[in-house]
Chain A
Amino acid sequence: MRIGTVKESYIADAALFDTKVQRGWMFALLAGLLLLPFFTGQYASYLVCLVLINIVSTAGLNILTGFTGLVSLGQAAFMGVGAYTVALMEIKLGTPFLLNLLVAGGLAAVIGIVVGLPSLRVKGLYLAIATIAASVILHFVFANWTSVTGGVSGLSMPPASLFGFEFIQPDQVYWIIMPITVIMLFGAANLFRTRIGRAFIAIRDRDISAEVLGIRLLRYKLLSFAISSFYAGVAGGLWAYFFRVVTPESFPLTMSIFFLAAIIVGGMGSILGSVLGAVFMTMVPEVLKMMVGVLSPIWPDAVAVMSPVRIIVFGGLIIIFLIFEPDGLAEIWRNIRRFFHLWPFKT
C-alpha cells in the first residue's frame, strides 16, 4: 500500500512515473519486452508485433481524437501512405530502414495536414465524413497509380536490414517494432507535459475560449493532425516491414474504425488507454479464435459454425465495456490501482 508520497521538487512532481514503485514496474515491463522473443514461438511474436503496430497507430489517433477532439476515420489511409513510402524506398533506393520510417511518418504528416484543413470549419461527424472522403481518395490513388504503387497487386518488398542482418521472421522484426513503439509512446506521454499537449486539450474542451488564451486554433488543429498522421505513417511503415507486401486492400476503412473503437474501448485522451485499447482490439478476436480452435477436435464443424458467433461475441464485449465503463479500460485500470494503493485501509 502507498498512501501518500511527499514530492521533493516541482520537477519530480511532474515526472512521468512519479514513485519508486511505478518506476519499478516500468523497468519490469521493459525487461519483459526485452526478454519476450526468447520465450515465445513465432506465432506469439507475430501477435505481439501486430499489437505493437496497432498501439502506435492507436496512440496517434488518440492524440487527434481523444486529446484534441477531432474525429478522424483516416488513420488506416495514413498508415497506407507510410507503408507505400517504406516499400518504395526499400525497393527503389534501399535506404536504411530508420530513415525510411521517418520519411514515411513525415509524408503521412504532410498529407494529414492537408486532410485536416477542413477541421477549422467543421467538427464531429462532418469532419469524420471529410476524413472518409480523404481515405477514399487515397485508396483510389493506391489502386490506380499503377506505375508507382503497382496497382491492385501492390508491392512486394525486401526485408529491413542492418549491417547485413535481415529482419525476416516475426521474432526478428520485433527488434525494430518494439523499440520504436516504446519510444513513440514516451513521446506521446511527453507531449502532454508541455504547452502543446495543453493546447490540444484546451481545443477539445472549448476551442473558442482557447483562442482568447493565445492558442492559434488552425495551427494547433493541423499540428494535431500532423502528429497523429506521423504516428500512423510510422505504424504503416512498420506494418510494411512486417508483412512485406503492401496492397490497396491492406488498409481498408474498417481498419480506421478498428482504431476508433480501440481508443473508445481503451480510453479517450489517455496514452495508457491507447495501449490497452489496441491490446484488447487485437487480442480478443485471437483469443476467441483459439477458443473455437480448442473445440474443433470434439466438434468438427466448430470453426464454420462458430465464426459468426465469434464476431458477435467480440461486438458484444465492446458494447458491454462501453455501457459499464464509458471512460474505457484505462479508467478500470486506475480504479484497480486506487484500490491497491489504499488497501487494506480503505476499499
Chain B
Amino acid sequence: MQMSQVSEQEVSPTLHTEGREILGVQGLSLAFGGVKALSHVSFSVKEGSITSVIGPNGAGKTSLFNSISGFYTPNEGTVKFLGQTMNNVPAPDRAELGMARTFQNIALFKGMTVLDNIKLGRHAHMKTNPLDALLYFGRARREEAELRKEVEEKIIDFLEIDHIRNQSVAALSYGLQKRVELARALAMKPKILLLDEPVAGMNREETEDMARFILDVKEEWGVTVLMVEHDMGLVMDLSDHVVCINFGQVITEGLPHEVQSHPDVISAYLGSGDVAALRKKFKEGK
C-alpha cells in the first residue's frame, strides 16, 4: 500500500489488527535554526505492536523520538499518548504515564552500578520522601526491598545480566550497556518502549539476543514497541508496521514487505542508483 508524500495521511484501519492507537503523531514539525529536522510527520502506533521507523542517517528519526519523549519541543503538531495530548506535558510526566526510551548513544549513569541504573528507572513510581529516605525506615525500606526483588526476578533474569549486576556500567561492553539501558527502560513500567537503534554496533550474537528480548517484551510483557533501526533483517523480522522517513518527512508506511520493496524507500537509502541491486541487498537483509 502506497502513501502520498505529504503528511495528513490517514492510516487505513484495516491495515492492522493489533487494536487501538496507543501513540499518535500528528503533523509534527521541528526545526533547528534553518535545518528542518521534521516536517509534518504523522503516523500511528497500535497497541501491542512493534512499529519500526527507518530512514537514512540524518533523516530525523532521533529528532522524532526526542519530540515524542518530551526532550525537544516541536514547533508544530501534536503527540497523543493514550488518547491524551502531550504538548504541555513535561518529559518526567510522560515517563510516569508509561513512556520509556533508550538512547542511540546510550545514556547510562556512569557513577552508578548496573543495579542502581536499573532501579533508577522505577523512580517515578516510588513514593519514598526525603524524610523516609534519611531514616531508611518503613516505606523507604519496604519500597527498596520490593523493587530489588522485582528487578532481580523479572528484569535481570529476563535479560540475562545477573553476572554484571554489581559492576559499574562504565566498565561494560557496548552490547551489555545497551542491554542495561533496556533493563532500565523496563523498570519504568512502560506502556510503550521507544528504542533508538537497539542493535547498532552489536555483533551477530548480541543482535540475535536483543531481537529475542524485543519480541519477548512485546509478547510476554505486553509492551508496545516503537523502534528506530538500520538493521533491515531485524526490522523485517520483528515489525508489524514500518514507517520510512527521509528529510524529516514520511515517505511511506505499511507492512514490512510493502515498505521494503517500495521504490521511494530504496532510492532514499541509495540517494539514487541501482535500485535492483539495493533491493537484493534488502532482501538478503538478514
CB-based contact B136/A202 at 8 Å: no
CB-based contact A208/B71 at 8 Å: yes
CB-based contact A214/B128 at 8 Å: no
Contact size range, A: 20 to 34
CB-based contact A187/B134 at 8 Å: yes
CB-based contact B101/A190 at 8 Å: no
- Least CB separation from B95: chain A residue: A214
- Minimum CB–CB distance for B187 against chain A, Å: 9
Please give the number of chain B residues whose Cβ is less than 8 angstroms from any Cβ of chain A in the complex. Answer: 42
A213 touching B95 in the complex, CB below 8 Å, given contacts A190-B133, A193-B144 = yes
**Residue from A198, A206, A217 within 8 A of B123 (CB atoms):** A198
Which residues of chain A (200-217) have a CB below 8 Å from chain B? 201-202, 204-206, 208-209, 211-217
CB-based contact A206/B107 at 8 Å: yes
- Minimum CB–CB distance for B138 against chain A, Å: 12
**Residue from B92, B119, B143 within 8 A of A214 (CB atoms):** B92
Complex CA gap A223/B101 in Å reads 26
For residue B121, CB closer than 8 A to chain A, the reply is: yes
Which residues of chain B (114-140) have a CB below 8 Å from chain A? 116, 119-126, 128-130, 132-136, 140
CB-based contact B135/A199 at 8 Å: no
Interface of chain A, main secondary structure: helix
**Residue from A193, A205, A214 within 8 A of B110 (CB atoms):** A205
**Residue from B110, B112, B136 within 8 A of A194 (CB atoms):** B136
CB-based contact A212/B71 at 8 Å: yes
For residue A236, CB closer than 8 A to chain B, the reply is: no
- Least CB separation from B140: chain A residue: A194
For residue B111, CB closer than 8 A to chain A, the reply is: yes
CB-based contact B123/A215 at 8 Å: yes
**Residue from A201, A208, A223 within 8 A of B130 (CB atoms):** A223
Pick from B134, B140, B143, B152 the residue with the most CB of A within 10 Å: B134
- Minimum CB–CB distance for A64 against chain B, Å: 14
CB-based contact A214/B188 at 8 Å: yes
- Least CB separation from B107: chain A residue: A209
For residue B96, CB closer than 8 A to chain A, the reply is: yes
For residue A14, CB closer than 8 A to chain B, the reply is: yes
- Chain A residues with Cβ under 8 A from B136's Cβ? 190, 193-194
For residue B213, CB closer than 8 A to chain A, the reply is: no
CB-based contact B145/A195 at 8 Å: no
Interface residues of B (CB under 8 A from A): 69-71, 90-92, 95-96, 101, 103, 107, 109-112, 116, 119-126, 128-130, 132-136, 140-141, 143-145, 148-149, 152, 184, 188
Interface residues of A (CB under 8 A from B): 10-11, 13-14, 187-188, 190-191, 193-199, 201-202, 204-206, 208-209, 211-217, 223, 226-227, 269
Q: Can you show 23 pairs from A to B with CB atoms below 8 A apart?
A: A10-B145, A11-B148, A14-B148, A188-B134, A190-B133, A193-B133, A193-B144, A194-B128, A194-B133, A195-B119, A195-B120, A196-B133, A198-B112, A198-B119, A205-B111, A208-B71, A211-B92, A212-B95, A214-B95, A214-B124, A215-B124, A216-B92, A269-B111
